[in-house]
Amino acid sequence: MSRRIIPVADFSAAPIVSGRMQAPSGVLHDTLSRPLRDLRISVTDRCNFRCVYCMPRAVFDKDYAFLPHSALLSFEEIERLARLFVAHGVEKIRLTGGEPLLRKNLEFLIERLAQLTTPTGRPLDLTLTTNGSLLERKARSLRDAGLTRVTVSLDALDDTLFRRMNDADFSVADVVNGIAAAQAAGLAPVKVNMVVKHGTNDGEIVPMARHFKGSGAVLRFIEYMDVGTSNGWNMTEVLPSADVITRIAEHFPLAPLEAHSPAETAQRWGYVDGSGEIGVISSVTRAFCGDCTRARLSTEGKLYLCLFASSGHDLRALLRSSASDAEIATAVAEIWQGRSDRYSQLRGSQAAEAREKSGRRVEMSYIGG
C-alpha cells in the first residue's frame, strides 16, 4: 500500500512588492474592514504527539519528511518580521507549532519578542500554545524570558483515552503537572483547550469541567474542525458547542459573560457560584470570521490569512533577498489589504465545496491552531 502524502507548502507564492511603499501606521484593514491585531507564529513543524485530529500517525510516521533546519525561519528573521507586524498594529503574538517547546533555545526568541512594544508604547501580549508535555520543566524559564501566558491542550482526563488520542503514550499527569508549573510560574491565567470529538472524548466534558472548576485555569471546548486534509474530518463527529454548554449546565449552573473584545473567538460562560469560567469555540456551528484579526506565519515563513487557507505568501523569500524593511512592510500591508478570507461563513457554499474538491488546504500542524 502506498503512503498517503499530505502537501503542506506547495501552494505558496512569493509576494510582489509594488513600487509605492506603505509605511506602517499602526492601523491596517482588509477588504472586510478587519484590522490586523494578532499574529500566530509557528516555530516548528514537529510535535511529540500524534493526535488523531491533527498529526495522525498514519500520515506523520517515522518516515515523514519534516522541514530541514535551514528551511526554518531563524530567531533573527522571526524578530524582524514580528517587529514589522507590530508596526502595522499587531498587539498579540502567539507562538505555536507543531509543539513549540521542541524548538531549541526558544527562550532566546521570547526574550527578543518581549522587547517589542506597540506603536502606542504598550507591551505585547506574548503567549504560547503547547501540548504541555514539556511545560513542567520549562515554565519558569519561559516566564523569566518574558512570556505572558500559556494555553495548554488537554483532550481528556481519562488516562487510557488520553494516551489513545495523543498516540504517543504521554500521560495526563504530564500535562496536569505542566499546568500546575505554569500557574506557579505566573503564566496566568492558564487556558486549557479541549478539542471535542463526538463519539471519542465527549464523555470527558463534565469531568474536565469538574476538574478545572475553581482551579484558576480557564477551560475552553473547541468544536472539531475541518482543518487540513489528513484528519478525515466528518461533520458527524462535531458536537455543537450549545450541547457542550447544556451538558455542563446540568451539573454546574452557568451564566453568559461578555466578551473581552469583538475579536475574541470563545463565547464565555461563568459558573453562577463565582468559581471561574469556561469558554466554547464554535468555528463550525457559529462562524466568527467577521471579527477575525489573525494572521499566521508558518515555520518556514509563509504568511497565511486563514486557518483554513489553501495557499500562503512567501515572506522568507523577501527576508533572504535584499529586500528592505520598507519593502517587506509594504508587502505585508498589500497582502492584508487584499484579504477576503471567511471560510467558516462560507462552509457548505458552492465556492467552499469547489475548494474542497481541489484538496488544497494547509495542515493545522504546519501553521498552528
Residue type at position 263:
A
225 labeled part of a ligand binding site: yes
Residue 30 lies in a domain: no
46 labeled part of a ligand binding site: no
Q: What is the pLDDT of residue 6?
A: 39
Best CA proximity match to 128, nearest among 139, 144, 117: 139
26 labeled part of a ligand binding site: no
Q: Give the rounded distance of the alpha carbon of 268 from its chain centre.
A: 18
| Other beta carbons within 10 Å of 210 | 13
Cβ atoms of residues 40 and 296 within 8 Å: yes
DSSP annotation of 35? B
The count of domains in the chain is 1
Alpha-helix runs per DSSP H in the chain? 75-87, 106-114, 135-145, 159-166, 172-185, 205-212, 241-249, 315-319, 325-337, 343-346, 350-358, 364-367
Q: What is the pLDDT of residue 168?
A: 96
Best CA proximity match to 46, nearest among 26, 62, 28, 22: 62
Residue 139 lies in a domain: yes
User: Can you give the residue range of the structural domain that contains 291?
Assistant: 38-367
DSSP annotation of 213? T
Residue 32 lies in a domain: no
- Each residue's pLDDT tens digit in the chain (369 positions)? 333 333 444 445 667 666 688 889 999 999 999 999 999 999 999 999 999 888 889 889 999 999 999 999 999 999 999 999 999 999 999 999 999 999 999 999 999 999 999 999 999 999 999 999 999 999 999 999 999 999 999 999 999 999 999 999 999 999 999 999 999 999 999 999 999 999 999 999 999 999 999 999 999 999 987 665 555 557 888 999 999 999 999 999 999 999 887 767 889 999 999 999 999 998 888 766 878 999 999 999 999 998 877 789 999 999 999 899 999 999 999 999 999 977 665 655 445 555 555 555 666 666 776
Q: Which residue has the cell 473584545?
A: 261
289 labeled part of a ligand binding site: yes
117 labeled part of a ligand binding site: no
d(CA 277, CA 279): 7
Q: What are the contacts of 85-88 at 24+ separation with CB within 8 A? A: 85/36, 85/39, 85/295, 85/332, 86/116, 86/117, 86/118, 86/119, 86/124, 87/24, 87/26, 87/119, 87/329, 88/24, 88/25, 88/26, 88/28, 88/36, 88/329, 88/332, 88/333, 88/336
98 labeled part of a ligand binding site: yes
Residue 150 lies in a domain: yes
51 labeled part of a ligand binding site: yes
What's phi and psi for 216, nearest 5 deg? Answer: 90, -15
**Grid coordinates standing for 167?**
498516540
| Other beta carbons within 10 Å of 242 | 13
Residue 229 lies in a domain: yes
210 labeled part of a ligand binding site: no
d(CA 50, CA 164): 9
| Other beta carbons within 10 Å of 230 | 22
Best CA proximity match to 221, nearest among 245, 200, 237: 245
d(CA 57, CA 61): 5
Q: What is the pLDDT of residue 74?
A: 98
Considering the entire predicted model, what is its pTM?
0.89
Q: What is the pLDDT of residue 7?
A: 42
Q: What is the pLDDT of residue 4?
A: 38
295 labeled part of a ligand binding site: yes
Residue 138 lies in a domain: yes
130 beta partners: 152
342 labeled part of a ligand binding site: no
94 labeled part of a ligand binding site: yes
CATH of the domain at 113: 3.20.20.70
132 labeled part of a ligand binding site: no
d(CA 305, CA 79): 19
**CA distances in angstroms from 48 to 102, 201, 214, 347, listed in the order given:** 8, 21, 30, 31
Best CA proximity match to 54, nearest among 167, 134, 146: 167
What is the largest distance, in Å, between two alpha-carbon atoms of the chain?
A: 61
254 beta partners: 271
54 labeled part of a ligand binding site: yes
